[in-house]
Amino acid sequence: MPVRVGAHRGAMCHAPENTLAAFRRAVEFGTYRIECDVRRTADGVLVMLHDETLDRTTSGHGPVAAQSWAEVRAVRSGDQAVPTLAETLEYARGRVRLLVEVKDPAAVDAIVGSIEAAGMAAACTLSSFDPAVLQRAKELCPQLATAWFHLRPGPLEPVALREAYGVELLIVWPAAAEAPVLHAAKAAGLQIRSGFPDHWGYAATTAEVLRLAALGVDEMACGRPDWIRRILLTHGLLAGG
Residue 205: pLDDT over 70? yes
Q: Which residues are catalytic?
A: 8, 50
Evaluate whether residue 98 is within a structural domain.
yes
Evaluate whether residue 131 is within a structural domain.
yes
Q: Report how far residue 239's alpha carbon sits from residue 178's, in angstroms, rounded to the nearest whole number.
A: 22
Residue 241: pLDDT over 70? no
Evaluate whether residue 55 is within a structural domain.
no
Evaluate whether residue 108 is within a structural domain.
yes
- In the chain, what are the helix, strand and coil shares in percent, each to the nearest 5? 40, 25, 40
* pLDDT tens digits for range 95-134: 999 999 999 999 999 999 999 999 999 999 999 999 999 9
What's the CATH number where 114 sits?
Answer: 3.20.20.190
Helices and strands (H, E) in the chain, number of each type: 9, 9
Torsion of CA 110, 113, 117, 120, to 10 degrees: 110
Evaluate whether residue 65 is within a structural domain.
no
Is the separation of the CB atoms in 46 and 36 below 8 Å?
no
Evaluate whether residue 61 is within a structural domain.
no
* pLDDT tens digits for range 149-181: 999 999 999 999 999 999 999 999 999 999 999
Q: Summarize the confidence of residues 226-232 as an average pLDDT.
A: 98
Mean pLDDT, rounded, of the chain: 97
Count of domains for the chain: 1
3-state SS of 51-114 is CCECCCCCCCCCEHHHCCHHHHHHCCECCECCCEHHHHHHHHCCCCEEEEEECCHHHHHHHHHH
Q: Which structural domain, as residue segments, surrounds residue 214? A: 4-50+83-234
Predicted pLDDT at 1: 81
Residue 70: pLDDT over 80? yes
Evaluate whether residue 20 is within a structural domain.
yes
- Record the pTM: 0.97
- Identify the sign of the CA torsion 33, 57, 207, 191: negative
Evaluate whether residue 76 is within a structural domain.
no
